[in-house]
Amino acid sequence: MAGYTGSKDDYLKRLRRVEGQVRGIARMVDEDTYCIDILTQVSAVTKALEAVSLGLLEDHLAHCVVDAARESDEAGAAKVREAADAIARLVRS
């Protein structure tokens, strides 16, 4: 079980939509669509992926980090460290 297991179907649905959007962008490139219109679509996909990440992160804090905090000081500190690294990657990507 992962922190997001309760919303698994929702994440899968969103990821399939993103997959379709990426395929749509490839089609636009193939048809020489105007650059700016492609950029708009790529920004939409990036935002959708960002929303997936923020959701997964909240689920992770709510389950894995909270559970570790209750287990022991060491377990809590390790999970916080790991979550902070993931947040940094997310902010910088």
What residues make contact with a copy of itself under the rule CB under 8 A? 1-5, 8, 11-12, 15-16, 18-19, 22-23, 25-26, 29-30, 32-36, 38-40, 42-47, 49-50, 52-54, 56-62, 64-66, 69-70, 76-77, 80-84, 86-93
Q: Shortest gap between Cβ of 40 and a copy of itself (angstroms)?
A: 7
Q: Shortest gap between Cβ of 54 and a copy of itself (angstroms)?
A: 5
Q: Shortest gap between Cβ of 86 and a copy of itself (angstroms)?
A: 5
Integer Cα distance of 46 and 38 in angstroms: 12
Integer Cα distance of 60 and 76 in angstroms: 13
Asked whether 68 and 76 are in contact (CB, 8 A), the reply is yes
Tell me how crowded residue 65 is: count the other CB atoms within 10 A of its CB: 19
